[in-house]
Each structure stands twice: as C-alpha cells, then as structure tokens.
Amino acid sequence: MAEGSLLSAELKLAGRLDGRFFALLQGIADTGSINKAARVAGYSYKGAWMVLETASNLARAPLLHTATGGARGGGTRLTEAALALLQCWRQLQQAHDGFLREQDAWLMQQPALAGTLRRMAMKTTARNQFAGTLVEVAIGPVSAQATLTLAGGQAITATMTSAAARSLALKKGQEAIALVKASAVVLVADFAGYKLSARNQLAGTVSRIEKGAVSSLVALTLPGGAVVTASVTNDAVSALALAVGQPATAVFKAYSVMLAVAAG
C-alpha cells in the first residue's frame, strides 16, 4: 500500500508462500538463473534452493526445469505448474491491493477513527507518546512554547525554536502528539517542601516496574488513564523504595518534549 495508508496486510498462499517467494519465481522467469533471482528476492543461494525444493515437494510437481551445459550454457526456467502458481499470485495480489485501497478509503471517511489510527501509525523510539490539543502557542523571536492538554486534563509544555514552530504551523486548537523519551523523565516520590524548575510535572500512581540488569522501566498511571514511563537505575528504584500503588510525580523539562502534528 502507498505511504500514508491506514491499512496493511501480507498476502500468503498456503500459509507460507509470500511475496518474497513469488519474487524468487519472477526472478527466475526473468533471468533464467536461481543465483541472480535469489539476490533479487533476498535469499541466499542455498536458501533459495531449499524453499523451491520444499514448495515442489508439497506441490507434487516440479516447479523448475534445469538444463546444464549445452550450446546455450544451461539455465533454469519455470515449469507450467510454477507459471500457473505465479499467475495466480499476480491476480490475487491485484485483488488484495484493490480491497485494501477500498477499505482505506472508507476509513478516511471516518474522521475520528482515521485520526486515532494515524496517531498510532507513527513509529518512533520515544517511549512516551501523548495525543492532545494545543491550548497555547507562543512564538517569540528566537524560541517558541506550546502547551497541549491530554484527555485527563493534564498539560504538557514543549519548548522549541521559533523556526521549528513556524515549520510545524502550530496554532491553538490543533491536534498534536507530545513525544518524551523515558530517559528524560525524572520520578519524584517526595518533594520535601521544594519546588522544581521543570515545567512538566505529572502526578500519578506507580502501576508497573520492570527491572532489568542495570535499569528499570517504571510506569506511572495518571488520572484519566494516560501512562508515563521513566527509565531509572535499579539503585534509584531501591533508594526511593518505589512500589506499585505508590504515588509519584513524573518530571521532565519542556525542551525534552518533541511535538508532532499531521502533515499538510
């Protein structure tokens, strides 16, 4: 499917013959060489032979006709059984792509659903991703600040360059996604009467602790259901005596927040 589509699906025949296998068959048809076809389809020479032999055994009919030597130097061509299989794949692939395009067009006509799916479709290494609405955008000569609210009412503020804010065409009322790396989040279990300069301070309850060899991922559930994840050392978890059910506050600076908005 084209870039930006909301749907994707892999077509397979018999649960194992996928696009890569048929690319191998097509490569053999085009080049007359298993070695060349294997490189095109991403197989090793040995791997290509293995998958072809397995498919031939299951089909109970040879898929390849191989000639060695001779005036033309030999070569490999597809049998009638293989050509029929390849033609079947082409027709099914065309119908499959058409079906996905139709369903994608239908999804695009469901604004709320399409918006949700598009937010989920973004791939990023940032552990924390929060969808919200911009309620404040202030663009100065050099820097800019934008604040979005989450469904639970919490506010997240991001600081960026003015050029970045103009490039994103940020404006009040716009939907946006705030991205925050787990390593940028500091957990505070007790402020002990002090105030912190960090703009973003989200209070919640520890809901999950995943301990690793050196560090832990600590999940904090906010009122409304949003979850903030922090990556902290195991020593810090022990020092703070963090435990599931304990109240804590996720703290991160505004410049640690990246904003994403829909293109166009």
Q: Could you tell me the pTM of the whole model?
A: 0.60
Residues 101 and 139 reside in one and the same domain: no
pLDDT (0 to 100) of residue 210 = 93
Q: Which of 108, 136, 171 is the last residue of a domain?
A: 108
Comparison of pLDDT for 264 and 135, the residue scoring more: 135
Instruction: Look up the CATH number of the domain holding residue 222.
Output: 2.40.50.100
Q: Is the pLDDT of residue 222 over 70?
A: yes
Range of the domain at 171: 122-260
What does the pLDDT average to over 82-106?
Answer: 88
| Least-confidence region, from 23-27, 49-53, 183-187, 198-202 | 49-53
Residues 147 and 179 reside in one and the same domain: yes
Residue 82 Cα distances to 61, 87, 158, angstroms: 9, 9, 58
Residues 240 and 133 reside in one and the same domain: yes
Residues 68 and 29 reside in one and the same domain: yes
Residues 191 and 241 reside in one and the same domain: yes
What does the pLDDT average to over 208-212?
Answer: 93
What does the pLDDT average to over 241-262?
Answer: 93
Strand ranges of the sheet holding 215-221, from the earlier edge strand across to the other edge:
186-188, 247-252, 200-211, 215-221, 227-233
What does the pLDDT average to over 52-63?
Answer: 80
Please give the Cα distance from 112 to 115 (Å, whole number).
Answer: 5
Comparison of pLDDT for 114 and 127, the residue scoring more: 127
Domain contains 144: yes
The answer to whether 175 and 133 have CB atoms below 8 angstroms apart is yes
Residues of the chain with pLDDT > 90, as a percent, come to 58
What does the pLDDT average to over 198-213?
Answer: 94
Domain contains 190: yes
Instruction: Quote the number of domains for the chain.
Output: 2
Instruction: Look up the CATH number of the domain holding residue 76.
Output: 1.10.10.10
Domain contains 14: no
Residues 88 and 144 reside in one and the same domain: no
**What is the SS3 assignment for 72?**
coil
Helix or strand (DSSP H, E) at 81: helix 80-108
Please give the Cα distance from 241 to 45 (Å, whole number).
Answer: 56
| Least-confidence region, from 41-55, 122-136, 171-185, 224-238 | 122-136
Residues 103 and 130 reside in one and the same domain: no
Residues 200 and 156 reside in one and the same domain: yes
Please give the Cα distance from 80 to 72 (Å, whole number).
Answer: 21
Q: Which two tokens stand for residue 184?
A: 């940028």
Residues 79 and 153 reside in one and the same domain: no
Q: Is the pLDDT of residue 190 over 80?
A: yes
pLDDT (0 to 100) of residue 70 = 47
pLDDT (0 to 100) of residue 154 = 93
What does the pLDDT average to over 34-50?
Answer: 91
